[in-house]
């Protein structure tokens, strides 16, 4: 009997050893498990350490279980090319709430990669930003990763950076500028509402679009990544500000202001004290800026009297601040060093169309 027990004990010891060896081997061969664990979250030193992508890192070929996503209207950042992904931990789902907001599960990581097109029409990586929901305190935290010159990896970078670049804009015009990688506190200024860090872009209405012939939110629901989604026709839509065929001038301009300005110009946002609120659903004319006197613009108003003067863009503070790159005047204050010609024209035409 003792021999039998001894043999069984040895057998279990061997099985346990083999399991441990195989587990360690699997972890080394595929770090996929790292990003899917919600325990003991901490930002890693290098982007490659997470296992988000397979193959060459710069190709951004997402690993299994990582969702790429597309926005209807996106924030302008010096004509940067942006690739966006959501990491949803295994065994969890995003939730669509009655207010139309997505509730992301603990352990979620939002990935946003920034790149530019150089004069040789090559895609050059600049930075990758992570917004992670820590399962311990259920709060969001941000971290930036700066890509190396070899384009092989990105390293954790807290203090920000100024990077001289020469890029091609949407019309293939050559633009030379100094791209500003924000420090983590800069990121917080835009992402904080009511003293709570929160995502900006991936709102349900900004994700309600068709990708490869299928509704993006509907696909996530069908694939088990999203629960509580109502009939898609009942989900609000933020217009694509570039889509002139589907949306009118007012809808496009308001969508542009929502994604580029409303994260600060909203109740609880960084620009709350201005009284200028630019959410897409905001209907009160004075609150949107029409014939509204500035509260705290200071020298940024350049002597002008109203945020928006109907039919007169040149006399409107909002338009003039968008059409500037001078620190203290330019709006948005962060995230750009060059003028967004297409966005400026849109807001100009919108103001001119007002009666």
pLDDT given for residue 22 in this prediction: 39
Confidence of residue 298 (pLDDT cuts 50, 70, 90): low
pLDDT, tens only, 316-337: 999 999 999 998 899 988 888 9
Q: Which residue has the higher pLDDT, 115 or 37?
A: 115
Q: Mean pLDDT, to the nearest integer, of 77-105?
A: 94
Question: How far is residue 307's CA from residue 293's CA, in Å, rounded to a whole number?
Answer: 6
Which residues are bridge partners to 113 per DSSP?
83, 128
Confidence of residue 45 (pLDDT cuts 50, 70, 90): very high
Per-residue pLDDT at 96 exceeds 80 = yes
Per-residue pLDDT at 20 exceeds 50 = no
Per-residue pLDDT at 8 exceeds 80 = no
Handedness of CA 260, 264, 267, 271 (dihedral sign): negative
Q: What angle is formed at CA 325 by the lines to CA 199 and CA 194, rounded to 5 degrees? A: 25
Q: Can you tell me whether residue 240 is helix, strand or coil?
A: coil
pLDDT, tens only, 132-156: 999 999 999 999 999 999 999 999 9
pLDDT given for residue 184 in this prediction: 79
Whether the Cβ atoms of residue 109 and residue 62 lie closer than 8 Å to each other:
no
Confidence of residue 6 (pLDDT cuts 50, 70, 90): very low
Q: What angle is formed at CA 161 by the lines to CA 159 and CA 163, rounded to 5 degrees? A: 170
pLDDT given for residue 300 in this prediction: 77
The domains of the chain are located at 34-232, 239-353
This prediction has a pTM of: 0.86
Question: How far is residue 352's CA from residue 312's CA, in Å, rounded to a whole number?
Answer: 6
pLDDT, tens only, 162-189: 999 999 999 999 999 999 998 878 777 7
pLDDT given for residue 297 in this prediction: 60
pLDDT given for residue 198 in this prediction: 87
Proportion of the chain above pLDDT 70, given as a percent? 88
pLDDT, tens only, 252-294: 999 999 999 999 999 988 888 889 999 999 999 999 999 999 8
pLDDT given for residue 21 in this prediction: 35
Confidence of residue 191 (pLDDT cuts 50, 70, 90): confident
Whether the Cβ atoms of residue 317 and residue 307 lie closer than 8 Å to each other:
yes
Per-residue pLDDT at 243 exceeds 50 = yes
Confidence of residue 40 (pLDDT cuts 50, 70, 90): low
Question: How far is residue 177's CA from residue 249's CA, in Å, rounded to a whole number?
Answer: 30
Per-residue pLDDT at 9 exceeds 60 = no
**Radius of gyration, CA atoms only, the chain:** 24
Q: Can you tell me whether residue 3 is helix, strand or coil?
A: helix
Q: Mean pLDDT, to the nearest integer, of 40-62?
A: 94
pLDDT given for residue 27 in this prediction: 35
Confidence of residue 241 (pLDDT cuts 50, 70, 90): very high
Q: Is the peptide bond before 282 cis (omega within 30 degrees of 0)?
A: no
Q: Can you tell me whether residue 295 is helix, strand or coil?
A: coil
Confidence of residue 2 (pLDDT cuts 50, 70, 90): very low
pLDDT given for residue 333 in this prediction: 83
């Amino acid at each position: 009997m003792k021999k039998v027990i001894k043999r069984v004990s040895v057998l279990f010891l061997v099985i346990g050893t083999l399991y441990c060896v195989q587990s360690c081997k699997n972890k080394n061969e595929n770090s996929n498990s790292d990003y899917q664990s919600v325990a003991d979250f901490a930002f890693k030193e290098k982007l490659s350490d997470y296992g988000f992508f397979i193959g060459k890192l710069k190709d951004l070929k997402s690993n299994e279980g990582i969702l790429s996503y597309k926005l209807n209207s996106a924030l302008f950042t010096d004509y940067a090319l942006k690739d966006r992904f959501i990491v949803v931990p295994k065994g969890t789902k995003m939730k669509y709430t009655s207010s139309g907001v997505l509730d992301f599960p603990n352990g979620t990581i939002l990935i946003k990669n920034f790149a530019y097109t150089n004069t040789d029409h090559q895609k050059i990586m600049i930075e990758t930003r992570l917004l992670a929901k820590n399962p311990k305190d259920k709060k969001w935290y941000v971290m930036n990763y700066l890509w190396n010159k070899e384009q092989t990896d990105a390293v954790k970078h807290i203090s920000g950076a100024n990077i001289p670049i020469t890029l091609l804009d949407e019309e293939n015009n050559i633009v030379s500028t100094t791209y500003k990688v924000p420090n983590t506190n800069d990121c917080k200024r835009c992402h904080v509402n009511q003293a709570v860090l929160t995502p900006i872009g991936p709102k349900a209405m900004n994700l309600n679009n068709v990708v490869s012939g299928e509704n993006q939110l509907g696909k996530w629901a069908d694939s088990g990544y999203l629960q509580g989604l109502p009939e898609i026709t009942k989900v609000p839509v933020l217009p694509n500000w570039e889509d002139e065929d589907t949306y009118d001038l007012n809808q496009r301009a308001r969508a542009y202001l929502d994604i580029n300005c409303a994260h600060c110009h909203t109740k609880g946002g960084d620009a709350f004290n201005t009284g200028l609120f630019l959410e897409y659903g905001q209907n009160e004319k004075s609150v949107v800026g029409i014939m509204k006197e500035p509260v705290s613009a200071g020298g940024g108003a350049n002597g002008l009297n109203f945020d928006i003067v109907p039919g007169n863009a040149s006399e409107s503070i909002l338009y003039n601040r968008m059409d500037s790159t001078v620190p203290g005047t330019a709006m948005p204050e962060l995230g750009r060093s060059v003028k967004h010609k297409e966005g400026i024209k849109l807001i100009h035409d919108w103001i001119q169309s007002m009666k």
